[in-house]
Every structure is written in C-alpha cells, then in structure tokens.
Amino acid sequence: MRRIHLLATGGTIASRRGPDGLASVTRAVDLLAAAGTPDGLAVTTSDVGTVGSFALSTADLLRLVAEVHRALGPGVDGVVVTHGTDTMEESVFLADLVHDDPRPVVFTGAQRPFDSPAPDGPANLAAALRVAASPAARDAGVLLCFDGLAFAARGVRKVETLRSGAFAAPGRGPVLRVTGDELTALARPVRGAPLPLDLDGDLPRVDVVPLYLGADDVLLRAAAGAGAAGVVLQAFGAGNATPAVAAAVGELVAGGIPVLVCSRVPAGPVAPLYTGGGGADLARAGAVFAGDLSPWQARLLLAAALAVAPRDPLPTVTGHLAPRSPHERGVQA
C-alpha cells in the first residue's frame, strides 16, 4: 500500500458555478471522492486554499512549495497538488527548482469545473495519483499531469484556453503517458541542482517586457524605474529586439540589473545571431540567453537566482540553462 498526500489549492478543478461566475469552493476530500482512490493507494488530504491560480502571488507560491515539503513527511511516497491551470506552469517550475527529494510531486487540475456535466478533473486527479505512486516518476522532480500525459516542469506550457488537452511541452514532449492503470515512460527529465531558496517571505521583483513591432525602450526603463531587480525580454524570433531596446539593455546590465532573453515563439531556443538590434547586440550588451525557457519560467528562475545570490545571480541562472539531453527532448526511452 503506497501512501500519497493530496494538497488542494483551488482552481477550475474545484470550481462550481454561482451567480457571479465560477468560484473555487470544493475541498480536497470532495475532489478525491469524485476521482476515486486508485487500487493499492492510501490517500490523505489537506487544503492550502481555494482560489483561482490567477489570484496567486509569488509569496503564495513560496508558501505552497513549503507546504509540499512539509507534506513529504515520513511514510509518504508522493504528493499531488491540485491547482488552477492559468499559472500552473509557473508553480510547477518553481517547485521543481527547489525540489531535493526523490519522491514525486505531481501537479494537476481541470479545464471544466467540478459541477460540469462532464468534468475532466476526476480523471486528471486519478491519473496524477497513479503517477505520484509510480516508481517511474521517482527522481523525475516535479511533474505536471494532464489529459493522460505527464510533463517535466521545465518547458511545460498551457497551450489551450479551454480544450481538455491544455498543456504541452513544445520541442520536448511528455515524459510519461497514463493509460488507465498503466504508465508508459517516454523520456527522463534532466534537472539542475536544487536551489537553496528560503521559502519564507517573497522573491525579488522580476518583470517580463514584451517585444512587438516598433517597440521602444519605455517599458524596459519603466520596469527598472519601478524597482525590478531583473528583467526578462519576451523577444522576437530567436532572441531579437529593436535597436532602442538593445541599447537600453546595455545600460540596465551596466547598472547591475540582469537581463534574460526568451522568445515570444512557443518552441525553439534563443541564440545571439543578428546585429542591428538583434540577439548579437543583446549578447554584447550583457544579456543572457535562456535557451527554450518560456518568459514566465525564466522570470521565476531569475527571481530565485537573485534570492539565492543577489550580488551575482548569473552563475546560478546559467547552471540551470545547460543543453538538453536526447531524453529530455522527448526521445523514446
């Protein structure tokens, strides 16, 4: 008998319709009752909160990660977290950055509410419980399980607003497939060393600045003026900007504000290729290229690195931007 602990935080999986719209009001014990307990498992439950993930702050996220650590007590074989889908890709990534335990932690949720005529939450939760109990998920870090697939934390993205297949890992693919009671291993995540992050308090402010046709440096300078300790550029293509932004990046970096470069394109890495305001100029200005991380995950990586090493966060960042192995790219195991 394997023991799994279920932490509920709210989200669509816990939502019911009311006069003002959907509200996350369903408790963990009721979520488990709807999903059923898979054979061979004993599941305990607790509630961290009942909110939509769009309402979470980074301080809330740190408290959730601390709760996950506490839930991995003696005799517990894994933890499942139910969570809203809007920011799940961020929460699962930060949880993975600090996860230093071989036991699995699995996030899941739903696209349709608890009181829907055809809710998807019960099946997602049942699958996540199976993944959390499986030896195949051990030492894989924190995973996101949805619609019959489990994804590594790094690289997972919400790709559909309403459809049940809400998540994908562009350029990477899933690491496990869940078919009924059976799990199939597809790949093995490659993870950096866990960060010794203090989970009390909050993270330094890091802003994401989007690039668009004709963008000037106003938003970038506004982020710095508002107190951002670091900035992530959601750049064009393979990591390009406008000449005005490239020049401003040099000033920010010279002033001690690190800048990471990501792409607004869903799949593929960034690289310093072009001049005239492009990635080559950003690299010369001191920006760091964040591989194929999304801007949202890169933001949390930079914020965590700043918290761990405020004077020189870039070695910590680059240590988590190592080249991917073939298995991490989704090659059949």
Q: What does 176-201 look like in DSSP terms, one character per residue?
A: EEEETTEEEE------PPPP----SS
pLDDT of the chain, 333 residues: tens digit per residue:
999 999 999 999 999 999 999 999 999 999 999 999 999 999 999 999 999 999 999 999 999 999 999 999 999 999 999 999 999 999 999 999 999 999 999 999 999 999 999 999 999 999 999 999 999 999 999 999 999 999 999 999 999 999 999 999 999 999 999 998 899 999 999 888 999 999 998 999 999 999 999 999 999 999 999 999 999 999 999 999 999 999 999 999 999 999 999 999 999 999 999 999 999 999 999 999 999 999 999 999 999 999 999 999 999 999 998 654 433 333 332
Partners of 145 in the beta sheet?
A: 150
User: Do residues 79 and 71 lie in contact, with contact meaning Cβ atoms separated by under 8 Å?
Assistant: yes
Q: Which residue has the tokens 């293509």?
A: 237
Q: Which residues does the annotation mark as catalytic?
A: 12
H or E segment and range at residue 157: strand 157-158
Q: Are 82 and 8 in contact (CB under 8 A)?
A: yes
Q: Are the C-beta atoms of residues 322 and 284 closer than 8 Å to each other?
A: no
Whole-Å CA distances, 309 to 139, 298, 314, 316, 317: 26, 16, 9, 8, 10
* Contact call for residues 122 and 109 (beta carbons, < 8 A): no
Backbone angles phi, psi at 94, to 5 degrees: -65, -40
Please, which residues have CB within 8 angstroms of residue 70's CB and are 6 or more apart in sequence?
A: none
